[in-house]
């Protein structure tokens, strides 16, 4: 039994192919984790790195509390089951199962006990004397499972174990593996390209695409709250319907324009978390709706489709159609109008019928057309708000405040400005006050809907804030985006900062070395562990090139020690002040006290806090 932790795991193959990018997950003891995604997305590579069959290019793998990157596969206490079974053909089932234990010189009596126990659990006791070739695919896969089982591993790794079996057997083995997992109480990691397998077996699922993790979530959350269009389309059969639509706010309603020209409406409340710039009726967005969330209506609705095919499955009926009236000849233009509806059997529809549809508003998904990321985040990343500038005054949320100098400079002479405000930038304070319409619990965080005219400003608040009351707040001006005429004139200040510099090793006495990050001529001590890691990943090339060192802005200290830097400018954000520093050829932005007025400073960077990034392939080494 064990928990696992994968922290910033990368795999770069020798040909330079980045097969796995920044894979992070904490796997609790006894979880059943499934890696799912199309062929080539990096599932097996990740599993093989956990097993120790593939080296980890960078990142840390913990099995239990042990850093396991360099452990031999046999020392990882892990058992792996492959698609190909990998049984020894000349050995009996018993001997196949006993093989690993004999190699470990376990007494024969103990081996017998373990093999019999596993055989019983897997219902293959009667085949122990057979050779694998005299068994069916399903039985062979059980033997392969049995061989893993007898070793009492801490973690089971299964790589597409069922893909050689026929559909019926697969379904049966799925249930059996799930039962086995429950019975053993061991951590399972299971790789498959089959979303049904993933959804039915996993306690949590990792959806991957092209070497990147798309979402890690429970089956229900993947189904209900897919992070992007890829996950939305990958999970669920028949696939979610996608249409390019336009959205237009009309008071308490939002009008949806479909590709066939038809229009329907949903309550604004349903999409109130969407960034306001998507509601002007101009920007195309992708609407997603699952076939099971569309009803065929008896009454006339605004959304109509023509039926092109009907599939009766006994208990349910899949209706295929195109939005609007079907053209005589199907053209490429019609492709974006295809629609699939899942209804109960008994619905009377035939090919050629014109049917009226209604969609379940609360099951609607919206994705950005370029990034394909959801537009309906549980916690909206930004809310767009409008303000007015007159001289040094800013009118915002019905209050007037002094415009901070950094903003004033960016805004110039414009009078109308917009701000994109992340919920975390709304902090308790005295500048503004808005009424709390509603408070929602999002995974333990309290999201408040503050009434700002006919829209909401979203804020994360504590338990003391109540619905119906007024909430007094200020803004972290350094965290908001400032726009004039729809163009960004001021970016928020991020949490991280970086410098670029070389890396070096010093021999200091007998077999002792020290490593340093060399930044603008200064040598910053590097943790020994990181030094070895960089060297292991990059070889001796590492002393000949520059790396990007990323750290928390908060870890920068100004004081008596460190690198000499020139203060180019002080940026005043009202409640926060930053100094823009020139450090040799590099720039650094650091938060400074309100009364800061220096021109030259010493910057102390903490090498312990550096993340080291390889710049050519762009991955985090440590």
Q: Would you count residue 617 as binding ligand ADP (CB under 6 A)?
A: no
Task: Give alpha helix (H) positions in 309-456.
Answer: 405-411
Interacting span for ligand ADP (CB under 6 A) from 10-18, 113-121, 331-339, 384-392: 10-18
Q: Would you count residue 57 as binding ligand ADP (CB under 6 A)?
A: no
- Report the half-sphere exposure of 201 (CA within 13 A, side-chain side): 34
Residue with Cβ nearer ligand ADP (84 or 415): 84
Environment class of 474 (CB within 10 Å of its CB; exposed 0-12, middle 13-18, buried 19+): middle
Q: Would you count residue 45 as binding ligand ADP (CB under 6 A)?
A: yes
Interacting span for ligand ADP (CB under 6 A) from 9-17, 130-138, 252-260, 481-489: 9-17
Q: Would you count residue 83 as binding ligand ADP (CB under 6 A)?
A: no
- Provide the 3-class DSSP secondary structure of residue 29: coil
Q: Which of 364, 289, 299 is nearest to 323 (CA)?
A: 289
Residue with Cβ nearer ligand ADP (15 or 541): 15
Which region holds residue 419: left if phi is over 0, alpha if psi is between -120 and 50, else beta?
beta
Report whether 330 contacts 382 (CB < 8 A): no
Q: Would you count residue 39 as binding ligand ADP (CB under 6 A)?
A: yes
Q: Would you count residue 40 as binding ligand ADP (CB under 6 A)?
A: yes
Q: Would you count residue 33 as binding ligand ADP (CB under 6 A)?
A: no
Interacting span for ligand ADP (CB under 6 A) from 34-42, 70-78, 382-390, 547-555: 34-42
Q: Would you count residue 315 as binding ligand ADP (CB under 6 A)?
A: no
Interacting span for ligand ADP (CB under 6 A) from 11-19, 341-349, 441-449, 525-533: 11-19
Q: Would you count residue 161 as binding ligand ADP (CB under 6 A)?
A: no
Q: Would you count residue 17 as binding ligand ADP (CB under 6 A)?
A: yes
Q: Phi first, then psi: what are they for 182, rounded to 5°?
A: -65, -45
Query: What residues pair up with 187 in beta bridges, in sequence order?
Result: 155
DSSP secondary structure string, 528-540?
HHHHHHHHHHHGG
Q: Would you count residue 330 as binding ligand ADP (CB under 6 A)?
A: no
Shortest Cβ distance from residue 1 to ligand ADP (Å)?
Answer: 26
Residue with Cβ nearer ligand ADP (20 or 461): 20
Residue with Cβ nearer ligand ADP (16 or 486): 16
Task: Give alpha helix (H) positions in 150-299.
Answer: 167-184, 195-201, 219-224, 229-234
Euclidean distance between CA atoms 328 and 421, whole angstroms = 49
Residue with Cβ nearer ligand ADP (43 or 114): 43
Interacting span for ligand ADP (CB under 6 A) from 15-23, 61-69, 342-350, 474-482: 15-23
Shortest Cβ distance from residue 248 to ligand ADP (Å)?
Answer: 41
Euclidean distance between CA atoms 557 and 548, whole angstroms = 19
Residue with Cβ nearer ligand ADP (43 or 154): 43
Q: Would you count residue 18 as binding ligand ADP (CB under 6 A)?
A: no
Interacting span for ligand ADP (CB under 6 A) from 32-40, 276-284, 301-309, 552-560: 32-40
Shortest Cβ distance from residue 47 to ligand ADP (Å)?
Answer: 8
Q: Exactly one of 27, 32, 33, 43 binds ligand ADP (CB under 6 A); which one?
A: 43
Q: Exactly one of 4, 41, 144, 389 binds ligand ADP (CB under 6 A); which one?
A: 41
Residue with Cβ nearer ligand ADP (17 or 250): 17
Residue with Cβ nearer ligand ADP (41 or 144): 41
Q: Would you count residue 331 as binding ligand ADP (CB under 6 A)?
A: no
Instruction: Decide the pairing of beta strands 611-614 and 546-552.
Output: antiparallel
Residue with Cβ nearer ligand ADP (39 or 463): 39
Q: Would you count residue 511 as binding ligand ADP (CB under 6 A)?
A: no
Q: Exactly one of 12, 19, 98, 340 binds ligand ADP (CB under 6 A); which one?
A: 19
Residue with Cβ nearer ligand ADP (158 or 436): 158
Residue with Cβ nearer ligand ADP (160 or 418): 160
Size of the site for ligand ADP (CB under 6 A): 12
Instruction: Decide the pairing of beta strands 32-36 and 204-209.
Output: parallel
Q: Would you count residue 42 as binding ligand ADP (CB under 6 A)?
A: yes
Q: Which of 615, 601, 519, 613 is nearest to 567 (CA)?
A: 601
Q: Which two tokens stand for residue 77?
A: 């206490």
Count, residues in the chain: 622
Residue with Cβ nearer ligand ADP (4 or 384): 4
Q: Which of 535, 552, 421, 536 is nearest to 475 (CA)?
A: 421
Q: What is the 8-class DSSP label of residue 228?
A: B
Q: Would you count residue 15 as binding ligand ADP (CB under 6 A)?
A: yes
Q: Would you count residue 192 as binding ligand ADP (CB under 6 A)?
A: no
Shortest Cβ distance from residue 40 to ligand ADP (Å)?
Answer: 4
Report whether 482 contacts 489 (CB < 8 A): yes
Q: Where are the beta strands (DSSP E) in 324-469?
A: 338-344, 354-359, 365-368, 383-390, 393-396, 399-402, 416-421, 426-442, 445-452, 455-461
Report whether 589 contacts 578 (CB < 8 A): yes
C-beta atoms surrounding 281 within 10 Å: 13
Report whether 279 contacts 251 (CB < 8 A): no
Neighbouring residues of 135: CB distance < 8 A, sequence distance ≥ 6: 93, 127, 143
Residue with Cβ nearer ligand ADP (206 or 307): 206
Q: Which two tokens stand for residue 76?
A: 């990882």
Shortest Cβ distance from residue 42 to ligand ADP (Å)?
Answer: 4
Q: Which positions touch ligand ADP (CB under 6 A)?
A: 13, 15, 17, 19, 37, 39-45
């Amino acid at each position: 039994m064990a928990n696992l932790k994968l922290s910033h795991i990368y795999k770069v193959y020798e040909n330079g192919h980045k097969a796995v990018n920044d894979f992070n997950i904490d796997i609790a003891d006894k979880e059943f984790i499934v890696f799912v995604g199309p062929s080539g997305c990096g599932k097996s590579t990740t599993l093989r790195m956990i097993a120790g069959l593939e080296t980890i290019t960078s990142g840390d793998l913990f099995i239990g509390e042990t850093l396991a990157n360099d452990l031999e596969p046999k020392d990882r206490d892990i058992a792996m089951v492959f698609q190909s079974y990998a049984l020894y053909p000349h050995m009996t089932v018993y001997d196949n199962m006993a093989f690993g234990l004999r190699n470990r010189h376990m007494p024969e009596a103990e081996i017998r006990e373990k093999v019999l126990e596993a055989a019983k659990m897997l219902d293959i006791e009667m085949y122990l004397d057979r050779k694998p070739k005299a068994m069916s695919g399903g039985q062979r896969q059980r033997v392969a499972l049995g061989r893993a089982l007898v070793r009492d591993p801490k973690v089971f790794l299964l790589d597409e174990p069922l893909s050689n079996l026929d559909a019926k057997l697969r379904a049966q083995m799925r249930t059996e593996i799930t039962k086995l997992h429950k019975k053993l109480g061991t951590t399972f990691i299971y790789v498959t390209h089959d979303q049904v397998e993933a959804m039915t077996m996993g306690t949590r699922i990792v959806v991957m695409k092209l070497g990147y993790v798309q979402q890690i979530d429970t089956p229900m959350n993947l189904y209900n709250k897919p992070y992007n269009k890829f996950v939305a389309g990958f999970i669920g059969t028949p696939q979610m319907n996608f249409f390019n639509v336009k959205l237009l706010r009309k008071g308490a309603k939002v009008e949806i324009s479909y590709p066939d020209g038809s229009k329907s409406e949903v309550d604004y409340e349903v999409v109130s978390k969407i960034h306001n710039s998507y509601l002007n009726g101009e920007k195309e967005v992708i609407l997603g709706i699952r076939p099971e969330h569309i009803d065929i209506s008896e009454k006339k609705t605004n959304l109509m489709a023509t039926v092109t095919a009907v599939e009766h499955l006994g208990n349910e009926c899949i209706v295929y159609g195109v939005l609007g009236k079907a053209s005589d000849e199907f053209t490429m233009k019609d492709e974006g109008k295809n629609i699939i509806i899942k209804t109960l059997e008994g619905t009377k529809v035939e090919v050629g019928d014109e049917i009226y549809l209604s969609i379940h508003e609360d099951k609607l998904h919206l994705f950005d057309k370029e990034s394909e990321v959801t537009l309906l985040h549980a916690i909206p990343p930004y809310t767009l708000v409008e303000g007015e500038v007159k001289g040094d005054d800013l009118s915002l949320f019905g209050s007037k405040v002094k415009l901070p100098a950094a903003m004033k400079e960016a805004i110039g002479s414009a009078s109308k400005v917009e701000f994109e405000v992340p919920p975390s930038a709304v902090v308790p304070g005295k500048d503004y006050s808005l009424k709390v319409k509603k408070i929602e619990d999002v995974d333990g965080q309290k999201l408040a809907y503050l009434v700002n005219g006919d829209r909401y400003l979203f804020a994360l608040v504590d338990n003391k804030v109540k619905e119906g009351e007024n909430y007094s707040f200020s803004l972290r001006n350094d965290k908001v985006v400032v726009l004039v005429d729809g163009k960004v004139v001021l970016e928020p200040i991020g949490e991280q900062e970086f410098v670029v510099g070389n890396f070096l090793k010093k021999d200091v006495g007998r077999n002792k070395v020290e490593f340093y990050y060399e930044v603008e001529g200064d040598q910053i001590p590097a943790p020994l562990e990181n030094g070895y890691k960089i060297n292991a990943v990059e070889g001796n090339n590492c002393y000949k090139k520059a790396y990007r060192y990323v750290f928390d802005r908060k870890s920068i200290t100004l004081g008596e020690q460190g690198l000499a830097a020139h203060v180019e400018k002080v940026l005043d954000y009202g409640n926060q002040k930053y100094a823009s520093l020139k450090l040799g050829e590099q720039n650094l932005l650091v938060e400074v006290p309100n009364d800061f007025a220096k021109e030259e400073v010493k910057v102390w960077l903490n090498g312990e806090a550096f993340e080291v990034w390889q710049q050519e392939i762009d991955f985090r080494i440590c």
